Structures are given as structure tokens and as C-alpha cells.
A and B are shown apart, each in its own frame.
Chain A
Amino acid sequence: MAIPTLDESEFIDKFGPHLNHEPPGGWLENKQSGEATLVKTHCCFCGVQCGIQLKVQDNKVIGFEPWEEFPVNHGMLCPKGVKRYLQNEHPDRLMSPLVRTESGFAEASWDEALNRTVAAIRKIQADHGPDSFAILGGASMTNEKAYMIGKFARLAVKTANIDYNGRLCMVSAGAANKMAFGVDRAANPWSDIPLAKAVMLSGTNLGECFPILTDYVWRARDNGAKIIVIDPRMTPIARTADLFLPVRPGRDSALANGILHVLIERGWIDEKFIAEHTIDFDRVRDLVKRYTPALTEKITGVPSASVIRAAEIWGPAPTSMLLHARGVEHQVKGVENCLSYINLVLATGRIGKPGSGYGTITGQGNGQGGREHGQRCNQLPGARDIENPAHREFIADFWNVKESEIPHTGLTACEIFDAIEAGKIKGLFSISFNPLVSIPDANRTRAALDKLEFYGCIDFFLSESARHADVVLAGSLQEEDEGTVTTGEGRCVRLQQSVTPPGNARVDWMILKDLAERLGAKDHFLYAMSEDIFRELAAASKGGSADYSGMTYDRIEKNMGLFWPCPSWTHPGTPRLFENGVFHHPDGKARFCGFEYRPPAEDIDSEYPIFFTTGRVVSQYLSGNQTRRIGPLVEQYPEPLCEMHPMLAARLGIIHGELVKVVTRRGEIVVPAQVVRTIRPDTVFVPYHWPGKKSANLLTNRALDPISKIPEYKVCACRVERISA
């Protein structure tokens, strides 16, 4: 039973989060000491992967300098990037493997920790079958680790149940990309954004979640572009937009259908492109006939004049970019929402050209690469399909195993927790994942972790989930390992090792290699350095849809990143997909996929009359395991607030700053009210980076999109209560 053996305050005393404010030795020491070296690498946080130079001295990261030559961010950084170095030399850093005792954790030798993990895997699998042990990876990991954890699960642990936290992130967009275009990648480099004359930002709080892309959008506006922002909240990027569509949560597919309706009615579609490069438009044309501006307004809450205005901006524009993110993707119809928006791109034929195209903005550092190399339950390296016989043969051959030795499709991340709850999965090993904070319906997640016979994880700080672990293996921070990540635009960039792991902590992939060896799979993991893993994953991707086979560390560095597909050592990479209108389906044509609007899994009613939605703030990142330990970032936005409109606040008798209770069918939290006129009056918003009693994911609904299995973070029903004094 993986039940924590300390209470919350004891965990915080021992393992934090404590706040780090200063570089090692303090500001004065830092100034007085000798020469530091600058290491050109990347930020450890979001999918933009800004170039940054870490300042290193005596094997410590002591600060940073902007890296102005890196072509994506030109030295720009958000506050997380500026302060990221404070995660290094942190008092909470795990320096040794830990094993759980009756009173917290005790330090253990690597031998003891690894043997205990291997023994647990063997025992659980012997008792309950190979799939009773599950592995969870993460999309903040390098391509090398993403590849390795997939191979580790299938060849060393021999379980089908391997998935990753990207399942919580953008898998619905990924599935939509595959369905529409035959390939899962943003279609354009971000350098196309400033060339667009219309930019549609749908469900993306771009200014706070991908701050550097703001400059790209503003440069488009400098060049005469009109900006359309679709969001239930007036986020910083929405404030000065040309058109703001305040969509009711969970209504996005209807809004896209409504805009397409007007585009067709006004003749703003490219019939020639549709005929030559797409199929199934007629079905979509019929479908959207009924989505008149009036009906669209009724469903979405967006005034019909604004629906028409969106079409008037989008329709005649000579170039255009559609960008969307979690707002439309985090729904039980996430795939349907994305495809409905992609229809706007295909109908106008504006894709595969400079300044014209589409992208989902991946949220995690390696949100793109993390979904290509086989750590998904339904995927093999090179973004191959685990159920495609030819793909299985290729990888079996490559790994030198029998095709039958490769497990078939396993469970997705949330389903793994459902299966733990149901008693079908008994053991879990995770890396780069803090499910207790990040999976919806946290009370159920906690009970599931408690129920495990064994839970082991690799972590650099003791996350809230790791408190439940039997064994915690002290791994590496991003700057303590090297490798590659693939950014939200499909650019594979090079991470440099700036320092070595402190104390007894070890580089993550070496820990996995040791575990594999102890599980009897040594021959499959003969890596001496990170580059060996990259060479293997690049070769494994050859001929797959995400083809890295022409990339080397040297080439990636020299080019400041290479875009896949890059199928040979002389290939320059492919920043823009679908040039000349050729898509990646076998017939070269894109697919229109239209959907009737359907309501969210849980809609508002008289008992729970207010929409609840979640998202990020600029100073925190994901479950906060890193950013809740960095002083200046915590001080910028110290605790979750419940944003609500003054009309709603007045109705409930709530004043700004007072504590309110937000209740859903799954749980309740008490947080201060932030009364602002920048949110729909029928909706409240609480950011999700915090654990415990303030965790927004105590409230969210673990209802899954049927295709992608992404959960519906962005809409459920709540009520808000005043806490009487």
C-alpha cells in the first residue's frame, strides 16, 4: 500500500517546497567569484524551448545570460526562463535514492533502491501478469529519454501499459492532425506567424503560456494582420485583439462550424484547392448549413455579429495562421474541436505556404518530440502505429526481437489510474510525472496511489505524488543531462549538459539502463552516452512519419535546430509541411472532418449553475514541482485565485479578496476570489499548479475524449459559495 508515512507539514519541512531566491553563495559571493562559463542550451519549461545561456561556475548554475543569436527567441525569455536557474543548487534537491519507511523516507544505496524496484516489478508481474505493472513517462523529457522509456517498458518490463503525461496535454490535437493531414506536427514554423494577415488564436492564453510567441503575433499586427482571440476569459493577448469572441466553455466546435457557415455563404472558400487537395468537403458543407450565426450565438454565447465578423476577417485574408491550444483540446470533444477549426484552414486553402497554415501550440518542453518516439501506449518509435503489422515488424526487426514480443496497445494515462482503482494494475513506475496534481479528480488519484502494491519513481524534487512512493530514485534536472527536444514548431534542438547531478543523484537514462540490466534486458540498452540513444532513435524513426534519420547532434547544433522530417544527412529539414498542397495521407489529400456540436460531459444545471475552467498563470509551470520552489516566481502569483465576474460576485454576495468555496460533484476547494470583469459572468477560473486542498484538479472532471483519451479540464459544472464569517 503506497500510503504516505508523514503528514503534509512534515513532508514540507523535509522536502519542501522551500523557496530559493538567490544563486549559490548569495548575490555578493556570486559577484566576487572568478570567471563563469556560459553554456548555450534551452529553457527547461514550455514547448517554445527558448535558447538561453546558463552561467556555470564550479559545477553550479549561478545565473544566465540571454542567447540573442538563437533564432526563435533572440534572447527573449519569460519570468520562468529568467529564474529557471534557481532550481539548480536548491535546498530541496534529492541527492540520494530514498526508500519509504514507517516514518517518511530513508536514504538508500543505489543497489538497494534498484533491487527493490526490480523485485517489486517481478513479484507483481508474477502474481498478476505482465500488464499489471504500468509505466508513466513525461513530455518534459528529452527525445532520448522518451525513446528509452518506451523501449524500457516493452522490452525490459514487458508491459503494454506505458503512457505519458502528454496524454493530459495535446493528444487531441495530435489525433486531429493525423486525421486531417496524415501527420502529427505543427504545419508551419513560427516564423510564418508574422507573415499572416489574419491570426486566429483559439483557446490559447498565449501571453501567459507561450509568452515569447506574443512577439510573433504582435509583429503580424505590425505588418497589418487582424488578430482574432477566442477564449472565455479576456487574457492578456485578447485585450488588444481586433476581435474577441468570448466563447461559452465547451462550445468550440459549434463556433468553428458557425464561422465556416458564413465563409461558405459569402463564397470565401477556395473551391480549386478543395477539389484538388482535399476530400469530404461536401459532407462538412452540408453539416454546417444549420450553424447559422443565430444558432451559433445560441450555442456559444458569442454574438452573431461577432461570428460574422470573424468570417469577414478570416475569409478574404491573403494569408492566415490558426493557432490553438488546450482551451479547445482539453474537452471530451477535443479532437472534434480541433478538426472543426482545421476545416477553416482547409476550406480557405491557406496552408503549406509562407504565412499560411496551422499549429497546435504544445504546452510541455518536449510536447512534440515526447509524442513521437514510443512512450505512448499506442505508438512505436518514429510516430509509428503499434497495431500496424508493418510498423510492428519494422521495429521488432530493429530491436532484434520477435514481433510477438512487442506488447500491443495499452491503457492511456487516466485509464491507468482507473485500472489501479479497479485493482487491475498493482504496480507503477513513473518519471517526469506528478499525477496527483495533474490528473483530474485528484481525490480518486490519491486513493489510487494509496492502493498500489508498489510505486517507484524517478524525481529530482519529491513531488506530491512521490510522497506515496516506495522507492524514489534521485534523477537529473534538465541541465544535468544532455540530449535533444523537439519544440512546438517541430524543430529538434540540442540541450547541453551544464553541470553533473549533485551528491548521489544520477542521470535519468543511466538509471533506466541499470534497471533494464537488472531486469535481464541488458543487450537492448548498450548505451555509453546520450548520443548513442539519439543515433538509435534517429535510425528507428527512418521511414516513420516523424523521420529524424538525417539528424546528428552536430548537425542540430550547427543549424540551431532541425525540423523533421529530415530523412538524410544532406537533407536540410522541413520547417513547413504540405508545400505544393501535398498532405501525408497515402492519396496526398487532406481530410475534412465535420462534427455536430455536442455538449460537454458535465454541463451546468440548477444545482451546479456555473462553468468551471482551469489553466495556467505565467509564473508557474504544470504541476509546479519545479516552479513552486523558485521564490520570485511564487511571489509573483503565490496561490490560486478564483476569477469571477463582478455580476456573478454580486449575485453571490462575494467581495474581491474574500475566501470562497468552489464545489463540484467531485470535490471542493477554498480560495480567495479575484473579482474581475475579464471573464464571462457564467464562468469561474482557477489555475491548476497547486497541490492538496487548493488543487483545481480536485474539482475537474475525469471524462475522456473517446478518440484521444484527453480529459475534460476546460469545462465542468460548479457552484460557488460565500464562506460566512
Chain B
Amino acid sequence: MISANDQFFIDPSRCIGCEACVAACMECDTHRGRTMIHLEFIDRASTTQTTPVVCMHCEDPACAQVCPADAIKQTEDGIVHSSIKSRCIGCSNCVLACPFGVPHYVAAIDQMVKCDMCFDRTSIGKKPMCATVCPSQALFFGTVEEVMRMRQERPIQEFMFGEQPVRTKVKMMSAPGMERMDYDIMDFMPGAASTMVDIAELSVWTSGMETLNVEPA
């Protein structure tokens, strides 16, 4: 059984891209074969880095703010729910507004769907399906005390997108000492100086080139 203090944590540095989370999300009884989450390959040409994208459940959710049909509701427990079928008009405002890239518009049902933190499972004392199965525990469901005891990374829930602060219910594991993650649109524009350390850089493979010029033995 889960406890009232259990929370959701994401650590992309642990992710192995297996998509067990996506596969498991489809299997939640109420999802009926449709996944509410997805997996991002960050830049497969350069790295095997992947990250699971579950809803961050913002305290003041942009998706709900921009919804012209008032189809996205937040409950007292802080869960930002998927769109209400009878209200959603499929306009995709939420898809464009979400700073984390979470909501997806599904043409087949003309509706936005997104993660509701396994509300149907947590409400009956079960952990969310994705965090239960995640083989790397990049998705973790437990208490802050547990995660602080077990891991070196620290949970943060404050983000800054340009000038816009965002506080989330779901916590992102980050380097100790960091209290907020700041993003600027310029970081993502062509020509931006990447701050990411790219371990797949050429120097790793320098020795691999010699054999390309190998002569017959």
C-alpha cells in the first residue's frame, strides 16, 4: 500500500529508454490500451540519452489556464487531470502551452490525453503503473525521506522558463545544491552553445579510426 506522503520523482540520468513505462501505462485499466505518457530520445544521433515524459502536475498549470473549454481540471490533491471528454474541443492550446511537452492530442478520439499520475491506481492504494515497473527507477514513487536516503541527487520542484516561474508537484532529481532549473529559449535555438557534456564526442572514438585504414594482414 502507498502512504499519503508518497510522491513522484523523475531522474532522467537513470533512464535506459526501454519504454516499459509507456507499455505499462497502456495497461492501466482505465487507459484501455492508450498510453498517457511518452519517451523522448533526446538526440539519438549523438547519444542514447532518453527521458520518460510524465505530467509534472504544475501547481498553476499552463495547460488548464490556456484551455478555452475549461476541460482540464486540477483536484485538491494537486493532480492535473487529463481532458474531460465532453469538454475537450481538440484545439491543442494545452499542447503548445505546456513548458514540459506533456499533453498529446490524439486525432483518433479528437481529444487531448495526458498523464493523471495513475489517479485510478493511487486512489485505491496502488503505486502508479509506470513507476512500479520502471527497471532503472528513473521514475520513482515514494517519500522524500526515502529518496533523500537512497540517492545522491536531490529533488527539486522549481523551474524557470524565461521569466516564468513554474512550481510542480512532481519532483525532478538534480545535482546537490541546485534549487531551481532555469531554461531560456535561446538555449534551444540553432547555434546555441550546448551546456551538455557530450561523452559521445569524437575523442572517445579516436582510436577507432586507425582500423578504418587497415591494410591486408
Spell out A's residues near B (CB within 8 Å). Answer: 21-22, 27-28, 31, 63-64, 66, 68, 73, 75-79, 81-83, 207-208, 211-212, 214-215, 218-219, 222, 234-240, 244, 246, 248, 297, 301-303, 603-607, 609-611, 618-619, 632, 636, 645-648, 651, 656, 674-678, 680-683
Spell out B's residues near A (CB within 8 Å). Answer: 13-20, 22-24, 26-27, 29-30, 32-33, 44-50, 127, 129, 132-137, 150-152, 199-201, 204-212, 214-217
Partner of B45, one of A78, A619, A656: A656
Known contacts A31-B32, A82-B20, A211-B135; 11 additional CB pairs below 8 A are: A207-B16, A207-B17, A222-B151, A222-B152, A246-B205, A610-B212, A619-B19, A632-B26, A675-B45, A681-B208, A681-B212
Minimum distance in angstroms from B136 CB to a CB of chain A: 4
A676→B20 contact, CB < 8 A: no
CB neighbours (8 Å) of A222 from chain B are: 150-152
A239→B208 contact, CB < 8 A: no
Partner of B208, one of A78, A214, A682: A682
B16→A606 contact, CB < 8 A: no
CB neighbours (8 Å) of A237 from chain B are: 16
Docked CA distance A353–B192 (Å): 50
CB neighbours (8 Å) of A607 from chain B are: 216
Minimum distance in angstroms from A653 CB to a CB of chain B: 15
Docked CA distance A239–B29 (Å): 35
Known: A211-B16, A618-B18. A297 touches B133 (CB 8 A): no
CB neighbours (8 Å) of B151 from chain A are: 222
The 9 closest A-B pairs by CB, nearest first: A207-B16, A27-B32, A211-B135, A236-B16, A680-B208, A82-B23, A79-B23, A301-B207, A682-B211
A-B contacts, 14 listed (Cβ < 8 Å): A21-B33, A22-B33, A28-B32, A77-B135, A79-B20, A207-B16, A236-B16, A236-B17, A609-B214, A636-B23, A677-B47, A677-B201, A680-B205, A681-B209
A645→B208 contact, CB < 8 A: yes
Chain B residue with the shortest CB-CB distance to A74:
B132
A218→B137 contact, CB < 8 A: yes
Docked CA distance A215–B50 (Å): 16
A606→B24 contact, CB < 8 A: no
CB neighbours (8 Å) of B217 from chain A are: 603, 605
CB neighbours (8 Å) of A618 from chain B are: 16-19
B135→A212 contact, CB < 8 A: yes
Interface of A, secondary structure class, is: loop
Known: A31-B29, A211-B16, A604-B214. A681 touches B135 (CB 8 A): no
Docked CA distance A645–B48 (Å): 13
B211→A301 contact, CB < 8 A: yes
Docked CA distance A206–B135 (Å): 11
CB neighbours (8 Å) of A647 from chain B are: 205, 209, 212
B150→A76 contact, CB < 8 A: no
B45→A677 contact, CB < 8 A: yes
Minimum distance in angstroms from A201 CB to a CB of chain B: 13
Chain B residue with the shortest CB-CB distance to A214:
B136
Docked CA distance A607–B214 (Å): 10
Minimum distance in angstroms from A306 CB to a CB of chain B: 9
A248→B132 contact, CB < 8 A: no
A677→B27 contact, CB < 8 A: no
A678→B47 contact, CB < 8 A: yes
Docked CA distance A368–B207 (Å): 37
Docked CA distance A76–B137 (Å): 8
CB neighbours (8 Å) of B201 from chain A are: 677
Minimum distance in angstroms from B118 CB to a CB of chain A: 12
CB neighbours (8 Å) of A76 from chain B are: 20, 132-135, 137
Docked CA distance A610–B133 (Å): 39
Docked CA distance A663–B172 (Å): 46
Chain A residue with the shortest CB-CB distance to B33:
A27
Known: A27-B33, A219-B150, A248-B211. A678 touches B136 (CB 8 A): no
Minimum distance in angstroms from B76 CB to a CB of chain A: 27
B137→A215 contact, CB < 8 A: yes
Docked CA distance A646–B208 (Å): 12
CB neighbours (8 Å) of B208 from chain A are: 246, 248, 301, 645, 680-683
Docked CA distance A302–B210 (Å): 12
